Structure 1
Amino acid sequence: MIGFCGCQSTQLSVEERERRRKEELALKERYLNRIQSAETSIYESMEMLATEVKDYNQDELQGFSGAVFVNDLFYPFELGAIARERGIGSRVVVRHVFEGSPADEAGLLLGDVLLRVNGKRVPRGEQGASFIVGNLKKLWLVDEPNIVLVDRNGRELELEIDAENSVYYSVVVTPFLGEEALVHAEGKAIYFSLEGLEDVEEAELHYLCAHALVQNVMKHARMKGQNELIGGLVDMAAMLYGVNTGGVFGNFGRNAYKSGFLIESDLLALYALSSGGIDIESYPVYWEERLKDGRGLLSRANQERIDAMRQVISEIAAKREAGEPIYPTEYLSGEWTLDDLRNKAESLDTELTDV
């Protein structure tokens, strides 16, 4: 009788362990689903916005096939087993294909493993993650078909994929970036805070994506003195550890963008959003709420930033009213100052009042 009870107790312990294992597995599944859902929304927003901003800086144009690639190092270490079950392991795989893109038309499919691009062997693991972030887009040719070798369910296939000039950057949704930072444009990639995206609405996501995308396109990470160190750290981390490293993100808060870079990002983002058909009236409202301190107040620099946003919105409205193209020609062609922006906004307001 005693022996029977002991066996029953052991059996219950095994059942409890199995129950907990399944619960843990379900939690990890939901965790990865959250990340990948956010990724997909960001991919779609970035693809739309890239069409609007790709001419802002010709030096940033690179070939883009219309496919997004990842490996398991794009995700937290504890999700590695779940990611591998979904076909995302150490090798570089297709995570997303934009409908109607060259990759889509060539027949590239989700889960295809990238083996070679124009004869160049694709690495795996940490080198594979660094390859995706830094080197892959340099291999795409825009004036002739690209020969791409993939592994599809154990069978090697060769595809011819055209590429188009674009300004696509790798996207990493990470738990290591705090909610306050929310998004960081590093130059080669754009990092988004998973927690910070939880309650973001569709229009607000477009605002964040546009602001970050413009920072990369205009090379703000490279131009801003203090951030050069942080950019180097991120590049090094990507090469050594992949892209799901947490330690370097703690430094971002000490390297806040200078006011001029932030305002330039805002005004170019507003033009990109407006020309892309996104309503921009709530853009300053969103940022004002985010930028307020614990007392509900804005610093002088942040108030100036909000004022500049509203002025640019007025300027865009005036251009639309006059039937002019919604394109930031004056801001891309030379130097500008906040005083110039204020004077122009006042002039446009007067013109609209007189009509």
Structure 2
Amino acid sequence: METYQQLAITRFGEPAVLAMQTQTLPALTDAQMLADEQVLADDQVLVKVAYAGVNPIDAKTRAGLGWAAAQNKDNLPWVPGYDIAGEVVACGQAVRRWSVGDRVSGFIGFPLQGGGYSEYVVVPAEQLSSVPASTPLRQAAALPLAGQTAWQALEKAAVNAGDQVLVLAGAGGVGHLAIQLAVARGAKVFASCSAGNADFVRQLGATALDYRQGPLDTQLKDADVLIDLMGGDVGIAALSCVKAGGRVVTVPTITAEQVCEQVRQCGLQAEGMLVTPSVTQNDTMMAMLAAGTLRLHVDAVYPLADGAAAHQAIESGHTRGKIVLAVGSDA
């Protein structure tokens, strides 16, 4: 038996409640032992995780906020993390697509299981995408949840060529991908950001709106679509940028009801969203990364043991692109 490390939420609260814990795993070379110990079902693979993505939902759950926290309050310690990339080290008997040594990434265990902040994780084979040799695993780990959130937000808003689209928090993990995907649809994109991120946002294809230079509605009028990645008062204030009959998709679930009610009072079309894992979407964006038609910016990489610092960074609201944890290797 060998041991491996995980980072777990020991109780709800500040980042310091995250703590390392040790688990045991049967010898990976002993297929019968894996079966006897029920480590793998027939349709599952065991992944040695190289990197795990860090997302705002991880920090909210750790703080005890939202549905995943409510459902897991009696399951602590609980290992968060929905984005992984790494290497297949064992396969269930019915798995045909994957072989030991394959590089994979996936949006896993959403929303109740999590498990990505771990050196090893058992994953249904169908939840994984292949990672091209040219794509760094740290980028592959940063893509799934943020990329699919951006993709599905644009789909819900029915963004088309020629639409004027406002993306709030355009330099963030979801925002910087939403900009590029909207530009690829032929939209004219505007994005709120700080002055320090203006050049970054412009390089992605958007017109930068500095939120510190006054209300956004003094900088943009008549947007067809608002992709609200901030929620709350910030999302509500941005409604005045949207033209009559415009479409609004608000992503933060905690304030979605509040924002949608205000949207309806303004005579706009409103919808909240909870991302749904999609291997097809992940495969498509992975191919775009490999082809250079999608850019994914990793702002910082933290060791797994420094997960508390990663949570502090993502809660600051000032990260550019994505944050990832180096879990098992520097691959």
TM range (shorter): under 0.3
Q: Compare relative contact order (CA 8 Å, sep 6+) and give the higher one, 1 or 2.
A: 2
Structure whose residues are more often helix by fraction: 1
Greater Rg, structure 1 or structure 2? Answer: 1
TM-score, structure 1 normalization: 0.25
